[in-house]
Structure 1
Amino acid sequence: MKKFFALLLSLSMVLSLAACGSKGNSNDSQTDGETASDLHLGYDINTGENHYGPYYDEWSDKTDEELFEEALKEDTTINVYATSSKMMKVEEGFEAAYPGLDLVVSDLKTDEVLSKAKIEHDTGNITADVLQTKDVNGNVFHEWYNQDILEPYYPKDICSHIDEGYLKYGYPLYASQSMWYYNTKAFPDGQPIHSWWEIIEKNEDGTQKYRLFTKEIGQESAYLSLFASFINNADEMAQSYKDTYGKDLEYTYDASSFDFEVPENNAGVEYLWRFSQAKMTFISDGDELVLAVHNSTAEDPALCLASAGKIGNRDESGYDIAWCLNLEPYTALLNLECLFIAKGTNSPAGARLFIRYVTGGADGQSEGMKPFKKEGNWPIRDDVEDKKNPAKLTELGARANDLSAIYDIYLDVQEMWTYWLSQNPKMK
């Protein structure tokens, strides 16, 4: 009966959308979102066009009360595939707020969330209702939407409190990013670097100024995406170099080894080349990365690139570490943890009710947001106070991620990094 009800609900949605006809079109104001029945978030493989959010449909205006009433009439078990164990802390509060609904959270890796959802889609045995995942290189936006595995949900009242730039590729739960860390005892007057170029700076004798610790860039999609963004914003990288050193950047990279076109005189490519030739220590564990900085000295200074959340070691373990803020041309890309509806869910109303709950509800005060309020995570609603972070989202010098631009060159950037790193004599 549950499947039968879900089928009827899906059919009614289709008929409802069809009845709308040309209610919305691609020329609608983006402030209002896209509402056309034949337009979906993502990349259209037939037309080659990108369709961006926010995408509003008949679910977008429903209140918590309306969704709860509908949720009790469908499958009342709501399965969430999450990439954060903190999602489990939401179960008790959600079930208390909405008696009769059962929340089941599975803590999975990012790849597992999507692969499990795909298997369920392909076999017709859909268990997931809500999917939480992070898209850092455009893969989810450009590829997964078009497989009918997931679909967007944008609650209009909550979205009115979110910068539209954060709604382009999905509905966000919170923002996170990677930061460069420095040792506060070694540099008591504040961060020693103010641009990305200074990170790889050399002393007068040609030795490297800072020891660098990071995860292996080529194995971290978020880091590769960041370097790809530098290539896409080459003019800003070139200007940053000139502002830092008072002269124009000299281009030294040789792209003749690649069978794809590499842009000439591109400051982002030059940075990728120079960084790949620096001496680095790769450490896979974030806690060990910041520990390396804590153990460094003014005589032998170190920097590390790690998740912003690792700042917690400062208070929990007494590490002498701090973030480097407002680096030029920008500190980092904001990585948005996003929430999606599993296409074909038997709990369409319950799934959306949960998404509203975990992102603060109508007034931003629901307990669902509480587990995600920590240093290194930033709420993206303008009506939710951020008491955990020493710097607000607007004070970081970070920017929203242009996933489409990154997606276009991501694999090329990965190949350039891998090859150039293999030629680095300091890393052999």
Structure 2
Amino acid sequence: MNHAKWMAALCLTAGMAQAQDLDGASAGDLLEQAQAEGRVIVYSFTSRIARVEAAFEAAYPGIDMQGVDISSTEQIARLKAEARAGVTNADVVYISDVPVVLGELLETGVLENYVPPRVEDLLEENQKQPLLAQRLSTKVLMYAEDVYPDGAPVDTLWDLTRPEWRGRVVMVDPLQRGDYLDLMTEIVLRSDEMAATYEREFGEPIDLGDAANAGEKFIADLFANDLILVGSTDDVNSAIGKIGQTNPPIGFTSYSDRRDNEDEGWSLQVANAVQPAPGIVFPAVLALVKGSKNPAAARLAIDFMMGDDSDTGGEAFRPFYVAGDYATRSDIAPHPDAVPLDAFTAWRISPVETARIRAEVGDLILTLQ
């Protein structure tokens, strides 16, 4: 082996050893190196990162957390472009859209998993591998509670295809936001449940027509019923939840956005009784960017974002301790205003299964728009 190759191998071995040492270090052990690094850059799919940033810097003076608020779809594109250019800008990613992340970022070596030792025993295995799940988020059917105080105005997803809901169902374009495409994909994966619900609702077996299954038939019927596609979740929330409407639409959005009801003048509520399910539950994950410039600060940030040892996760977890977000840590108490997770009827996605047919569902939706 020539000298250059020997040095490269030595550096690689040293880097792997350092990463292993850091992976097993406590937050206290990471702190000195993290303070020497002086900063940590976090790409985040939620604007709540600004509150995390303030809490982190209060807890760890001298370490500058820079939160970059960009959607999961944009994060994936940016991280792939940076990797192709040999550039590492971020240290940590906070991201959803896990079915895409697994194949395009984790398996390609752009990201790597890290589970803080402090919380390892507090998580189920599928919340630690292949990536660390910080919380469970949602995309579910919501309605205006001030107009419908006795519950949702529909009792099955198939009701959304009826004439009375023509042009009155709203969601973000699934081809623009991955979590909404995951929702449509899950409906296809649950075709047996969709078919059974159809037969109960209409009293006869479903006629698939040209569709391959009941999930695809539902999506086609929903689009044919003048589904309204908008650009952002806030657009959905305002359309369906604004207080004072007389005949509001309903739509798919995040259950946790109920936290903004008072501030925004909304009356959003989840349609938890809708059959076969109101939508999906999916993980929001934290990961290291491979080759991070601030490896100790990156691990300290992930440890921090998993919450402190109090019942609610403390200041670190406060932005996510809201009704409709579900902590993955077993020792964080459920939010008192939320439907308990074991009573929440939304489907839990399997990112691997979602990834298997996601592109096909996207192609179907493209033909329907």
TM-score tier, shorter chain, comes to 0.7 to 0.9
SS in 2 for 1:336: strand
- TM-score normalized by the length of structure 2: 0.83
1:158 is aligned with what amino acid?
V
Shift of 1:60: 4.9
Shift of 1:355: 0.3
SS in 2 for 1:241: helix
1:417 to 1:113, Cα distance in 2 relative to 1, 3 A: closer
Decide whether the 8 Å contact of 1:150 with 1:343 is kept in 2.
yes
Q: Is it true that 1:343 corresponds to 2:290 in the alignment?
A: yes
Q: How does 1:6-405 map to 2 (within 5 A)?
A: 11-12=13-14, 14=16, 60-72=23-35, 75-136=37-98, 138-202=99-163, 208=165, 211-252=168-209, 254=210, 264=212, 266-293=213-240, 294=242, 296-297=245-246, 300=247, 302-361=249-308, 365-387=313-335, 389-405=337-353
Match of 1:419 in 2: 367
Alignment deviations for residues 351-387 of structure 1 (CA, whole Å, 9 cap, x no partner)? 1111011111455644211223334433222211243
Percent identity, aligned pairs only, is: 23
Q: Which of the two has higher C-alpha Rg?
A: 1
- Which structure carries more helix by proportion? 2
Match of 2:3 in 1: none
Decide whether the 8 Å contact of 2:55 with 2:316 is kept in 1.
yes
| Residue segments in structure 2 that go unaligned for 5+ positions in a row | 1-8
Decide whether the 8 Å contact of 1:356 with 1:362 is kept in 2.
no
SS in 1 for 2:41: strand
Q: Distance in 2 between matches of 1:319 and 1:165?
A: 35
Shift of 1:16: 8.9
Q: Distance in 1 between matches of 2:33 and 2:310?
A: 21
Decide whether the 8 Å contact of 2:141 with 2:279 is kept in 1.
no
Q: Distance in 2 between matches of 1:332 and 1:164?
A: 24
1:163 to 1:278, Cα distance in 2 relative to 1, 3 A: farther
CA RMSD of aligned residues (A): 3.1
Q: Distance in 2 between matches of 1:420 and 1:127?
A: 38
Shift of 1:141: 0.3
Q: Distance in 1 between matches of 2:74 and 2:166?
A: 40
Alignment deviations for residues 183-209 of structure 1 (CA, whole Å, 9 cap, x no partner)? 33443322222321222234xxxx547
Decide whether the 8 Å contact of 2:152 with 2:271 is kept in 1.
yes
Q: Distance in 1 between matches of 2:268 and 2:333?
A: 25
Decide whether the 8 Å contact of 2:26 with 2:117 is kept in 1.
no
How many residue pairs get aligned? The number is: 358
- TM-score normalized by the length of structure 1: 0.73
1:127 to 1:221, Cα distance in 2 relative to 1, 3 A: closer
Decide whether the 8 Å contact of 2:143 with 2:250 is kept in 1.
yes
